[in-house]
Structure formats: structure tokens, C-alpha cells
């Protein structure tokens, strides 16, 4: 009872107490760190005459400006005026965009010493505190202090689940707790789980900066000074290794490979399974589950529940930390994880919310007042001016492209903010809408002559970097970037941009080189891009309304610590959507629950995994595992028991497990292979049948049969088969590939029927498997082209797919291929595994077999490797022994988009390539030394 009272007192920190604290501190004017911005420009409507004097030029024509060649300007648009409303009258004076205001400042460590991470209460080494400070974290927020100082958390004896708004600093709490556990012992390991590859890559970079110069130590029982001396004395040894796990790694990861593993959900679960099986799991001390609200996502989030439950069953001292910005029933997670919970609504940067409807902007300082405003607007009648007064009015546009009032509002609001030098994030409902918004906004931005020359030069440098990519430059980006606008579609297989493009765009936006970033809604849960103003172009994601959690995440991107002193959101709503938006804004965040028994495959996978890793050997241990799942806290016991019994019977029927006369469970070789390859049971059956057929008659005189076995069996996020392309490619297949088609039962008559409007039947299990084979073979055709050095942008053009989709397909297939290699190895099919391994290397390199050695060199892939080969550099040793200046002409030849440059830019271009050549030579030297050492070891 005493413990509960202690916890209750600690858990009483709420939004109201945060407000009370704000009232006790002095307020101060915070100017914020304003982005570098273009020169002050008069409103666009005052420049009409000047615009008329600028001759329009063809899009491909280039003209000289400041000794460099830049794209000609597209036809310009004039952004609509945004005017203040004074009472019932509209002021003739255009609005001035200035949001500098006084607000309650966050208290500092001068007022409260516990707000400094150097305080002895946290027990962190000085170097770690210094690293945080160098990254901009000089003090923590009051809520972070209260959360960290919760009972037994810093000692790692209790689990924690907590919720904080987007931008509220929730990641720092998990970082501190995780690093405490890792740094407390030389053998300690930690796993940080994130939902997307982009987030994993970003977090790896962040943590590597955080742990620079830090070494892992056994902290003794002495005083704090003794501990700090120990850190300093051994700071040059036992450095903390941060490794990202995602995609197509073929190596079985072990604890020896890392100290902190930053993983996607699938990789984390696989890593835990392998560690339990080889008994190295005892070294695991901390597991952080970011975005843990995804636990009820049936597609992949349920793996979080599987993994966490296994850790709860082990009885090991593993601290589990779960966090999210959109948790409602946090008590369920707290009870399941047997730990503490904490909630806060604190945001360091205040957000001003607005509704834009019919060209009018309404104030909504809080969500509650926005709801009040929405309910006062009647979608079926004219706006009642007596009840609701707009703050500002957006003038209608005279341009045909901006006749739509919603799109006109988006362009006007984005233009207003960007011209003031701040960052804008626009959320569009679709990929096509994303591109269109970016193009229209760019046409209303300052011209080349009006822009700051330094910023303009950086934008052209960005274009140059994008052109130098092997994937080619997106033509829409080439059009918008010179005006400080880009789009950044993220996180889906349908992403139009490649990984390299997205990284360059995100970096330029964060540095203020780009002022406007237009994104699809999925970006809200992805990379952390700051924005002074967030504009929602409607409240839909495709045809459907976004959910309340997604809406909160999008609006939460406004206002970032160190970037802006205030954040703004503008929801631009259509008349037909107004009532639906009212319901959406009124809707509570959905409560999470277990989804293990909503689909039999999930509970089947859960049971198969624990039996395969010997965590459960009989019905008693299975029941113990199930009792520790979140399912046990959110479903009826009778329903759980029924599903468990049915699943065990199904696993026996599928020959994944056996049960002896004493009721003991044993995993079969097939069941073990399915767990090793991270497949669902039903997918495992399909794959097993495919491989069994292939082993009886494998087509070895070509590539298609191998590549077919690379393509994933699960849905690739809506990639559709272009039957016209399929038919055309089929007409050009060689005899080997045609035999593969015949072997798989793919019939030309069916493809021809689909070409003319037919539909694949998927009623029976056999029909579903046949449809899956057509889909896989079509994707295998793309892999064939990629493996044979066809550039990504050419493949995208050929198959009528976005370039980012083709790249994501290749990366997904690399990961799936790694699983298939493990499947074959576990089944004892070594020859098949070796063949798959070889083609996995080819797919990763995007090259034929003769270039695989060269493709291991940094920056040398596909096209570049082929040019090296044709220029006489056919081995790693040849590149290693070359002078970087010798490599410069080859790299210039390898650039996919050659543009005539002025003298100044030509030299800058060569300097960049020379730096790249030095990195290539250094990488080749390291690889060559490894090769020589291996030869010596063999002798």
C-alpha cells in the first residue's frame, strides 16, 4: 500500500501543475533562432509590372547568372493577399507576419539544479553531459526531471511507459535511461526499436554523437568523484558501439556486434529470438519501444507485444521503456509491463491553431476553442458573422491554377511564412497533390533576382548534388528547389523520391536552404522536420479522413525548440468536409488493445516463436507466456484459451511442431526455418512449397528463377502490376525465363486477358497462390533489370513506377532475400542458400558478377563500378594503388547528369569529386588490406 501511495504522489504531475509552475517564473521575450532568409520583398501584388518585364523562357533553356548556369524561371504566380479583419471590416493593409510575443519561459537549472543532467541524482558521466550540451541539450524540462526521478527508474529496477506531445522532448528520457543501463556495465546491451528505416538511420546518427568519447565501465560503489575519475581514466577504451539493424543484412547479429542496437520492429524481434536461443540474452539490460501505440497494428506492430512478452517471461533484469505521443489508455500498458506510467501535455513551444474555411482564417488558440469554432460553422448555410469573427481574410486569386479556395489558401499561407524567413511544412493528401502544391508554391516564391544570393547559391549546390546521384534527378524537384521549395514523400513503398534525395532535401530544409517542404501525411510519424507553420491541405489521407492520432502528429510538427519561438497550424477545410472534420476534431484518440487473436496468424506466430527458441516446452509454459501478454489484460480468458488451443492444433497440422505423449512441444526443422526467416506461418507454408518445387526442377541456365525466389510474399503496400508492361516483357523473354514461367504455371493467355480488362480470381486458396505468383514474377522482372546495371530511374520509367518505389522494392527484396537464405540454411539446402547469397550481393550492388568486388568500395556502385572496370581498374587493389587524381576523370565520366558549368562552379565541382575520390581510395585500401590478411591466414 505504501508503494502505491508513493507512486500515486509521483504520478500526480499533470498539465495543470505545469501551468501552475509557469505562473511562478518570470516571463521573458524569446526572439528564437530565425532561419536565414531572403531579402525583404514587397508584397507580390506590387510587383506585377516587374513580373511582366521578365520574358518567359522554355523550361529546358538555361541562362547565365553570377557565372553559373541555372534553370529558367517558370511562369510566375501572385500569392493572394492576407488581410486583417478589424471588427466587421477588412483592413486594406496587408498582414505583417510577426509572431514575436512574450510567453512563459522554461525554467533553467539556475532555478532548479535538478534540471541539469550533471546533477549527482542522475549519475551520468561528465563526458556524456558535455555531449548532450554540445547537441543543444543544456538543461531538461521539469516534466523530464519528474519522470526520470520516478521510483527505481534510474536504477533500472522498474519498467516505464510514458506519453508526451510531439516536440515535448520525450526521446531524451528514454535515451538517459537506456544509456544509464549500457554505461553501467561493460557487458550491458540495449535495443532501441523504431517503426521506420528512416527513423532508425536518424537515431543511429544522433546516438553516435551522444556517446562520442564515452566508454563502458563497471561503476563501483565509491563516491561520485571516484566514478568520474574512472570514466576519465578509461575513456579511450571500450567505446560504445551504436549499430543500426534494418534491411537486408545476411549476418546473424550477435551481442558481440554492438552495445546499442537501433532496430526496426522486425529486426528487433529477430534479434531477441536469436539471443534467447544462443543464451546471450542475459547481457540485455534495456529495451526502448518508441511509438509504442503501434502495438495494436496487426500488420507489424503486434511484434512489439511478442518481443516484450518474451522479455517479461525471462526473469532477466531488462528495463522496458515504452513511449508515444498518442497514448490514451496508458494504464493498460503500465499494468502489462508491471512498471510505472507518466503523462504530460507540456510543450516547450506554444502552438497557435487556426481553421481556414472559405478564404477566412479563424483563431483557435487551443483544441477546445477550435472545436467551438468548428461547431459554430454551418456547412449547409452561409457563415454567421454575428457568431464567429475571422482574424484574417485571404483574397480570391485571379489565377486559374488558384481558383480553388483551399489550394489558394495553402499557397498564400506558405508564401507569407517563407518570405518572412521561416520554415513551412505542408501536408497534402496524396503523392500527386504533394507535387502540385510544391510546384504552385514555388511559382509564387521570390524570383532569382529577388532572392538572397548566398541562399540561392546553396540551392544550386543542392541541385548539383541531386544531379550527381546515380538515380537521376526528379524533374519536379529540379523545377521547385531553385525557389526554396521541395516535397518529401516518406515511409511508403509508393514514395516517389529515393532515399538519397529525401536525405538531401531534409538536410537542406533543416538548414534553411529550403523554406517550404510539402509532404504526405505519413511523414508526420517519420523524420523530425521543424516548422514554424504547419499547413494541412484538407484533412484527408487519400480518400479517407486522417485519424485523430495522425491529425495530432501533423499539428505537433509546428514549433521546434531552438528554431522557433511559436508554432502555428492551419487546417484548410473544404465545405463538404466540415461536418466530418468536426467529428474528427471531437474524436478521442483510439485506445490501444492487443490484436493477437484478431487474426489467427498472429497468435500462431507467437506460439511458434516461443516453442522454437525453447522458451516454452509444454502447455504450462505456454500458458505462462500467454498470461504475460497484453492480450491477457484486455480479452476474455475463455476466448484466449480457445484461440491458444486452436493455434497449437494448427501448428501441429502444418507440421511446425510436434507433441509427444507427455505433452512436450518440439519444433520441427520447417518450424525452425520459418522462425529464423521471420515469416508468418501461412507465408512459411507458401515459401516451403515454392522451394520444394524449385529443388525438384530448378532452372539454372538463367536468372529469373533465383530472382523470383527473392521477391517478398507479403503485400508491398499497393504496388500494382502493369499488365501492358508485363505482356511486353514476356514477349522478349529468353527460353530460360519462359521455362520459369511455365514451371510456375503462369499462362500468357491469362496475362493477355488481364491486359484487356480481365481480373484475377482470388476466391480459393489455389487462386490466391496463383495470383501471388503473377505478382512476384512481375516484380522479379524489375529485379532482373536492377541486377544487370539498369539505373533505378530507367527501371522506374520502364515499369511506370516512382523511382523511390523501385529503390524501396530493391531494399525490401534484399531483406527478404536475407530471410530466404536463413530459411534454406536451416532446412539444410546449402546449395540453394549459396545461389541466393550470390544474387543478393548482385542486387545490393545493382551489378553483374564481375563487379561485385569493386561494388564493396564506398561510393562505387553499379554504373560507377562499370566505368572503373572499363577504364582498367578491375580489382580493389588497382583502385587502392591509384592516386585520387587518377580517379577524378572516371568519377566525372560516371556522373549521370552532365551540365555545362561556369568556371567557378566547374572548379567547385572538381574539388567535390576529388574529395570523393580520396574516400574511394581509402576504402579500397582497407578492403585490400583485409584481402591480403585473409590470403596470409589461408597460407
- Each residue's pLDDT tens digit, 93-113: 555 444 444 344 455 666 788
User: In a 3-state reduction of DSSP, which class is residue 423?
Assistant: coil
Is residue 341's pLDDT more than 80?
A: yes
Contact 417, 427 (CB under 8 A): no
The pLDDT value given to residue 488:
75
The pLDDT value given to residue 381:
45
CA atoms of 312 and 328, how far apart (whole Å): 23
CA atoms of 840 and 641, how far apart (whole Å): 42
The pLDDT value given to residue 261:
94
| 231 contact partners, CB below 8 Å, separation of at least 6 | 125, 126, 127, 214, 215, 217
Could you write out the DSSP letters of every residue in 148-209?
HTSTTTTTT-S-EEEE--TTS-HHHHHHHHHHHHHHT-TT-EEEEEESSHHHHHHHHHHHHH
Lowest model confidence (mean pLDDT) among 161-165, 207-211, 249-253: 249-253
Is residue 208's pLDDT more than 90?
A: yes
Average pLDDT over every residue of 310-339 = 91
Burial 146-184 (b: 16+ CB within 10 A, else e): bbbebeebbebebbbbbbbbbbbbbbbbbbbbbbbbbbb
Is residue 266's pLDDT more than 60?
A: yes
Q: Which domains does the chain have, with CATH numbers?
A: 113-343 (3.40.50.300), 350-586 (3.40.50.300), 600-667 (1.10.10.10), 681-846 (1.10.3380.30), 862-938 (no CATH)
The pLDDT value given to residue 802:
79
The pLDDT value given to residue 939:
60
User: Using the 8-state DSSP alphabet, how is residue 376 labeled?
Assistant: H
pLDDT tier for residue 383 given thresholds of 50, 70 and 90? very low
Long-range Cβ contacts of 834-837 (<8 Å, 24+ apart): 835/706, 836/706, 836/709, 836/710, 837/250
The pLDDT value given to residue 330:
92
Lowest model confidence (mean pLDDT) among 79-83, 293-297, 606-610, 902-906: 902-906
Average pLDDT over every residue of 413-442 = 88
CA atoms of 220 and 375, how far apart (whole Å): 62
The pLDDT value given to residue 743:
92
Lowest model confidence (mean pLDDT) among 167-171, 625-629, 869-873: 167-171
Higher pLDDT, residue 671 or 530: 671
Lowest model confidence (mean pLDDT) among 63-72, 122-131, 177-186, 346-355: 63-72
Average pLDDT over every residue of 484-492 = 70
The pLDDT value given to residue 907:
76
The pLDDT value given to residue 55:
34
Report CA torsion sign: 290, 341, 166, 405.
Answer: positive
pLDDT-above-90 percentage for the chain: 37
pLDDT-above-70 percentage for the chain: 78
User: Using the 8-state DSSP alphabet, how is residue 256 labeled?
Assistant: G
- Segment 239-249, tens digit of pLDDT: 899 998 886 54
CA atoms of 479 and 461, how far apart (whole Å): 14
The pLDDT value given to residue 544:
72
The pLDDT value given to residue 524:
56
Global pTM value:
0.81
pLDDT tier for residue 725 given thresholds of 50, 70 and 90? very high
Highest mean pLDDT among 84-93, 893-902, 918-927: 918-927
Could you write out the DSSP letters of every residue in 847-868?
S-GGGTTGGGSTT--HHHHHHH
The pLDDT value given to residue 370:
55
Long-range Cβ contacts of 216-225 (<8 Å, 24+ apart): 216/182, 216/183, 216/185, 216/186, 216/188, 216/240, 216/259, 217/183, 217/184, 217/186, 218/184, 218/185, 218/186, 219/123, 219/183, 219/184, 219/185, 224/120, 224/123
Amino acid at each position: 500500500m505504501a508503494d502505491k501511495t508513493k507512486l500515486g504522489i509521483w504520478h500526480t504531475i499533470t498539465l495543470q501543475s505545469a501551468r501552475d509552475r509557469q505562473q511562478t517564473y518570470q516571463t521573458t521575450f524569446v526572439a528564437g533562432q530565425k532561419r536565414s532568409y531572403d531579402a525583404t520583398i514587397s508584397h507580390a501584388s506590387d510587383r506585377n509590372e516587374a513580373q511582366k518585364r521578365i520574358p518567359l523562357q522554355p523550361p529546358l533553356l538555361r541562362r547565365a547568372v553570377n557565372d553559373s548556369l541555372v534553370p529558367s524561371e517558370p511562369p510566375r504566380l501572385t500569392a493572394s493577399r492576407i488581410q486583417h479583419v478589424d471588427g466587421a471590416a477588412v483592413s486594406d493593409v496587408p498582414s505583417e507576419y510577426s509572431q514575436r510575443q512574450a510567453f512563459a519561459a522554461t525554467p533553467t537549472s539556475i532555478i532548479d539544479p535538478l534540471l541539469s543532467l550533471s546533477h549527482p541524482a542522475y549519475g551520468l558521466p561528465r563526458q556524456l553531459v558535455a555531449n548532450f550540451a554540445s547537441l543543444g541539450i543544456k538543461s531538461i524540462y521539469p516534466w523530464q526531471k519528474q519522470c526520470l526521478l520516478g521510483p527505481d527508474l534510474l536504477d533500472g529496477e522498474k519498467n516505464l511507459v510514458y506519453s508526451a506531445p510531439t516536440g515535448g522532448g520525450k526521446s531524451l528520457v528514454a535515451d538517459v535511461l537506456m544509456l544509464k543501463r549500457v554505461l553501467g556495465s561493460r557487458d550491458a546491451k540495449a535495443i532501441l526499436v523504431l517503426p521506420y528505416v528512416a527513423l532508425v538511420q536518424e537515431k543511429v546518427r544522433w546516438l553516435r554523437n551522444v556517446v562520442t568519447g564515452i566508454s563502458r565501465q563497471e561503476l563501483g560503489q565509491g563516491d561520485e568523484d571516484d566514478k568520474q575519475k574512472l570514466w576519465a581514466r578509461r575513456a579511450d577504451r571500450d567505446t560504445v558501439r551504436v549499430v543500426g539493424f534494418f534491411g537486408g543484412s545476411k549476418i546473424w547479429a550477435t551481442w558481440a556486434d554492438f552495445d546499442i542496437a537501433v532496430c526496426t520492429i522486425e529486426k528487433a524481434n529477430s534479434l531477441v529470438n536469436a539471443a534467447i536461443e544462443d543464451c546471450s540474452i542475459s547481457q540485455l539490460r534495456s529495451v526502448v519501444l518508441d511509438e509504442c501505440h503501434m502495438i495494436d497494428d496487426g500488420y507489424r506492430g503486434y511484434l512489439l507485444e511478442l518481443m516484450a512478452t518474451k522479455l517479461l517471461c525471462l526473469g532477466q533484469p531488462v528495463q522496458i521503456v515504452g513511449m508515444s505521443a498518442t497514448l490514451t489508455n496508458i494504464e493498460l500498458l503500465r499494468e502489462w509491463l508491471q512498471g510505472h506510467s507518466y503523462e504530460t501535455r507540456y510543450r516547450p513551444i506554444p502552438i497557435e491553431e487556426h481553421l481556414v474555411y472559405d478564404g477566412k482564417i479563424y483563431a483557435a488558440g487551443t483544441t477546445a476553442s477550435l472545436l467551438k469554432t468548428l461547431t459554430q460553422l454551418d456547412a449547409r448555410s452561409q457563415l454567421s458573422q454575428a457568431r464567429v469573427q475571422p482574424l484574417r481574410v485571404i483574397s480570391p486569386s485571379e489565377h486559374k491554377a488558384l481558383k480553388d479556395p483551399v489550394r489558394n489558401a495553402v499557397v498564400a499561407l506558405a508564401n507569407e511564412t517563407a518570405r518572412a524567413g521561416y520554415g513551412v511544412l505542408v501536408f497534402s493528401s496524396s503523392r500527386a497533390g504533394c507535387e502540385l502544391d510544391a510546384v504552385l508554391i514555388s511559382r509564387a516564391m521570390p524570383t532569382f533576382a529577388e532572392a538572397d544570393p548566398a541562399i540561392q547559391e546553396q540551392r544550386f549546390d543542392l541541385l548539383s548534388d541531386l544531379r550527381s546521384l546515380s538515380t537521376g534527378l526528379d524533374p519536379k524537384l529540379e523545377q521547385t528547389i531553385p525557389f526554396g521549395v521541395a516535397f518529401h514523400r516518406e515511409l511508403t513503398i509508393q514514395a516517389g523520391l529515393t532515399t538519397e534525395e529525401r536525405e538531401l532535401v531534409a538536410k537542406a530544409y533543416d538548414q534553411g536552404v529550403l523554406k517550404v517542404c510539402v509532404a504526405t501525411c505519413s511523414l508526420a510519424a517519420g523524420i523530425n522536420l521543424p516548422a514554424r507553420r504547419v499547413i494541412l491541405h484538407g484533412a484527408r489521407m487519400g480518400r479517407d479522413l486522417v485519424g485523430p492520432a495522425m491529425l495530432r502528429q501533423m499539428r505537433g510538427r509546428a514549433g521546434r525548440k531552438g528554431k522557433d519561438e511559436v508554432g502555428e497550424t492551419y487546417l484548410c477545410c473544404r465545405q463538404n468536409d466540415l461536418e466530418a472534420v468536426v467529428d474528427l476534431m471531437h474524436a478521442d484518440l483510439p485506445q490501444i488493445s492487443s490484436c493477437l487473436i484478431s487474426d489467427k496468424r498472429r497468435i500462431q506466430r507467437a506460439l511458434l516463436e516461443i516453442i522454437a527458441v525453447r522458451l516454452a516446452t509444454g502447455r504450462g509454459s505456454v500458458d505462462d507466456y500467454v498470461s504475460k501478454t497484453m492480450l491477457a489484460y484486455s480479452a476474455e480468458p475463455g476466448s484466449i484459451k480457445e484461440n491458444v488451443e486452436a493455434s497449437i492444433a494448427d501448428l501441429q497440422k502444418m507440421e511446425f511442431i510436434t507433441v509427444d505423449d507427455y505433452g512436450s512441444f518440439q519444433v520441427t526443422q520447417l518450424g525452425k526455418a520459418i522462425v529464423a526467416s521471420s515469416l508468418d506461418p501461412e507465408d512459411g507454408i507458401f515459401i516451403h512449397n515454392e522451394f520444394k518445387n524449385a529443388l525438384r526442377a530448378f532452372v539454372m541456365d538463367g536468372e529469373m528463377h533465383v530472382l523470383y525466389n527473392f521477391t517478398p510474399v507479403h503485400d508491398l503496400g499497393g504496388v500494382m502490376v502493369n499488365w501492358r508492361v508485363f505482356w511486353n516483357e514476356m514477349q522478349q523473354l529468353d527460353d530460360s525465363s519462359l521455362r520459369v514461367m511455365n514451371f510456375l504455371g503462369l499462362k500468357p493467355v491469362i496475362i493477355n486477358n488481364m491486359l484487356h480488362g480481365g481480373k484475377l480470381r482470388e476466391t480459393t486458396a489455389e487462386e490466391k497462390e496463383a495470383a501471388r505468383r503473377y505478382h512476384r514474377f512481375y516484380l522479379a522482372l524489375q529485379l532482373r533489370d536492377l541486377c544487370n546495371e539498369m539505373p533505378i530511374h530507367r527501371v522506374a520509367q520502364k515499369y511506370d513506377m516512382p523511382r523511390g518505389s523501385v529503390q524501396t522494392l530493391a531494399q525490401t527484396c534484399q531483406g527478404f532475400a536475407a530471410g530466404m537464405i536463413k530459411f534454406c540454411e536451416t532446412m539444410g539446402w546449402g546449395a540453394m542458400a549459396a545461389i541466393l547469397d550470390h544474387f543478393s550481393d548482385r542486387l545490393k550492388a545493382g551489378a553483374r558478377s564481375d563487379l561485385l568486388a569493386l561494388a564493396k568500395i564506398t561510393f562505387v556502385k553499379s554504373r560507377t563500378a562499370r566505368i572503373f572496370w572499363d577504364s582498367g581498374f578491375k580489382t580493389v587493389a588497382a583502385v587502392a594503388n591509384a592516386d585520387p587524381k587518377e580517379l577524378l576523370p572516371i568519377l566525372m565520366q560516371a556522373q549521370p547528369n552532365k551540365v555545362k558549368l561556369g568556371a567557378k562552379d566547374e572548379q567547385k565541382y572538381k574539388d567535390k569529386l576529388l574529395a570523393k575520390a580520396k574516400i574511394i581510395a581509402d576504402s579500397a585500401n582497407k578492403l585490400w588490406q583485409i584481402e591480403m590478411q585473409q590470403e596470409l591466414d589461408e597460407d
